[in-house]
Amino acid sequence: MVYLLEEVRKMTVVMTAKNQVTIPKKITNALGLGKGSMFEIEISKEGIELIPLETKEREFTDEEYAKLKILAAREKGKKKPVTKKFIANLKKGKV
């Protein structure tokens, strides 16, 4: 784990009515986190742990890029209903 000063390693936060928790700026700065940072959440007997995920861009092959262009052209301008199933598939990367 990244070495952090004691004052940054442990802080108290409050959950909002929408079940949201704000990670204090001192912590996000120390860990290099920002808008769009993704986390894995792990629940254990000790509590809840948020584990920052590393994301990296990947290069597409020419074949994959050609397939993406065809798919984009086919879907362009189509309206899709935003259902719970659609959102679930979107989160899974299936849309």
Q: What is the pTM of this model?
A: 0.49
pLDDT for 3 equals 61
In the chain, count of helices (H) and strands (E)? 4, 2
CATH 2.10.260.10 for domain 6-52: yes
What's the CA gap between 53 and 36, in Å, rounded?
Answer: 11
Domain boundaries, the chain: 6-52, 62-92
Q: What is the mean pLDDT for each group of 10 consecutive residues in the chain (95 residues)?
A: 66 93 89 90 92 83 89 80 81 73
